[in-house]
Amino acid sequence: MTGIAILGFGTVGSGVYNVIEKNHDHIMANTGLDLKVVRICDIKDIDGEPGKIATKDFEDLLKDPRVEIIVETMGGLHPAREFSEMALDAGKSVVTSNKELVADCGGVFLRKAKELGLNYMFEASVGGGIPVIRSIMNSLVGEDITSAKGILNGTTNYILTKMSEEGVEYKDALTEAQRLGYAEKDPTDDVEGIDACRKIAIIASLIYQKAVDPEDIYTEGISSLTKTDLEYASKLKATIKLLAKFRKTDEGVAMMVCPFVIKRGTPLYGVNGVYNAVTVNGTMMGEIMYYGKGAGMYPTASAVVADVIREAQHFGKDISPGWTADKMKLIDICEEVRFFLVRTGKEDEDLVKELFGDVKIVHLEDRPEEIGFFTPEYKEKDFMELYNRLSCPVKFIRGDIDADS
Ligand code: HSE
């Protein structure tokens, strides 16, 4: 029997319990492992069968000799950080879905686990049920990866899809995403791009083996996007998605998280609802794409259980992915080339042609006072000079191009 303890019995923690219970025989048949959740720790009362093995005292998990792996699904930095450290010190490997903790100090835990002959595993921290981390670390290990970009937050993708396809208001779509268990406890992390930022920081740290501090990444969320922005994008045969991306250059790595216009016909255009997708470019393989459900109880729990199984199959062997303590150098995003969706006053129509050339201008029926258009491609700093010369600009939204993929 492999004894597992679950720390934090919320959406993901209870999903892990159910997956292990429901798939027990299937896992046993496939791997020979007899997985059993022997303890659960949460500050709230737990009903039913799982309540019988519940405790409010974390020390009970550490003292229990049956517990070999602690699944940390409590989220947040504290006390998850202290508890994860105590778990490793007590000789238990840790499997987590906590992207905040992994992005903040994953490198420290990885080194500590290695020193102790344990593992710290976090497949579920990025892309929910999509096995992004293991695939990047194993299948792409021989690649020189030049860039990656992804839709890495299910909540915002769900919201933008609802707004765009069903004309649902932002607030109603967010409430529904919370009801479905996609959103973080504080959905600010989702809608302001912070969650996607942590996930892209983890991916880049793994690929380049250097620590990326999420605080250093230029990040914008979707809270200032409106249905009108999505209508303009649609009129121009495009949509808007929250993208997290990086691109390696000779000077360093350009990384950012913000809403991007995506043209119809490109791979990420069709990624809708709670689905996440990541495209990765390597010098030999070209572009590949991962796709699947990026949030929700069972997709995330499934990724946690996959890590638990892998650890149980390799006790004592170093199988954690990892990165060094060196900090990655990030470069100014204003040097990046892209197109832009611009909204400005109708009186700027001639000026637009003068500044941006012969661009296609569109109008929305209910906004006779305004025009919208895509610019040619510019370095962001050059675009800003032109944009600032418009007489009544409303807003601009960056456009995603294949060249920066
Ligand atoms: N709140 C996150 C999301 C959960 O919406 O993607 C999965 O990490």
Q: Is the pLDDT of residue 404 over 80?
A: no
The answer to whether residues 179 and 262 belong to one domain is yes
Distance CA 9, CA 14 (A): 5
Residue-averaged pLDDT of the chain: 96
Q: Is the pLDDT of residue 254 over 80?
A: yes
The answer to whether residues 151 and 274 belong to one domain is yes
Asked if the structure places residue 176 within a domain, the reply is yes
- List ligand 1's pocket residues with C-beta within 6 A: 128, 153-155, 182-184, 190, 195, 294-295
**Distance in Å, CA 195 to ligand 1 centroid:** 7
Q: Scan for tokens 């048949």, then name that residue.
A: 29
Q: Which of 182, 257, 272, 278 to mutate to test the pocket of ligand 1 (most atoms within 8 A of CB)?
A: 182
Q: What backbone torsions phi and psi does residue 64 show, to the nearest 5 degrees?
A: -80, 115
Asked if the structure places residue 325 within a domain, the reply is no
The answer to whether residues 113 and 12 belong to one domain is yes
Q: Which of 123, 184, 243 to mutate to test the pocket of ligand 1 (most atoms within 8 A of CB)?
A: 184
Q: Is the pLDDT of residue 243 over 90?
A: yes
Q: Which of 249, 283, 313 is the last residue of a domain?
A: 313
Q: How would you classify residue 248: left for phi > 0, otherwise alpha for psi between -120 and 50, otherwise beta?
A: beta
Atom 7 of ligand 1, nearest CA residue: 295
**Largest interatomic CA distance in the chain:** 76
Count: domains in the chain? 3
Q: One-letter amino acid identity for 366?
A: D
Q: Whole-angstrom distance between the N-terminal and C-terminal Cα of the chain? A: 46
Domain of 348: which CATH number? 3.30.70.120
Distance CA 229, CA 55 (A): 49
Query: Quick one: pLDDT band at residue 405, thresholds 50, 70, 90?
Result: very low
Query: Quick one: pLDDT band at residue 9, thresholds 50, 70, 90?
Result: very high
Q: Is 403 helix (H, G, I), strand (E, B) or coil?
A: helix
Query: Quick one: pLDDT band at residue 320, thresholds 50, 70, 90?
Result: confident
Q: In this structure, are residues 346 and 371 in contact, taking their beta carbons and an 8 Å threshold?
A: yes
- What digits encode the pLDDT tens for the residues 146-201? 999 999 999 999 999 999 999 888 999 999 999 999 998 889 999 999 999 999 99
Mean pLDDT of the region 370-389: 97
The answer to whether residues 140 and 258 belong to one domain is yes
Which one of 99, 149, 199, 293 is the catalytic residue? 199
The answer to whether residues 140 and 271 belong to one domain is yes
Q: Using the 8-state DSSP alphabet, how is residue 222 labeled?
A: S
Q: In what order do the strands lie in the sheet with 93-96?
A: 54-55, 35-41, 2-7, 67-72, 93-96, 120-121
Mean pLDDT of the region 74-80: 97
**Distance in Å, CA 293 to ligand 1 centroid:** 10
The answer to whether residues 156 and 267 belong to one domain is yes
Residues spanned by the domain of 366 = 335-398
Of 3-7, 167-171, 241-245, give the lowest mean pLDDT range: 167-171
The answer to whether residues 91 and 107 belong to one domain is yes
- Write down how long the chain is: 405
DSSP for 235-263, written as a single string: HTTEEEEEEEEEEE-SS-EEEEEEEEEEE
Mean pLDDT of the region 277-299: 96
pLDDT for position 113:
97
Q: Which of 313, 347, 370 is the last residue of a domain?
A: 313
Distance CA 244, CA 217 (A): 10
Angle between helices 11-22 and 297-313 (to 10 degrees): 60
What's the predicted TM-score (pTM) here? 0.96
pLDDT for position 185:
82
Most confident among 132-141, 328-337, 389-398 (mean pLDDT): 389-398
Within its chain, how far is the Cα of 357 from the centroid? 37
Q: 67-72 and 93-96: which strand pairing?
A: parallel
Kindly report the CA angle at 246 between 241 and 196, in degrees rounded to 5? Answer: 50
Atom 8 of ligand 1, nearest CA residue: 295
Q: 340-345 and 253-263: which strand pairing?
A: unpaired
**Distance in Å, CA 109 to ligand 1 centroid:** 22
pLDDT for position 118:
97
Q: Which of 190, 198, 202, 243 to mutate to test the pocket of ligand 1 (most atoms within 8 A of CB)?
A: 190
Annotated catalytic residue 199: yes
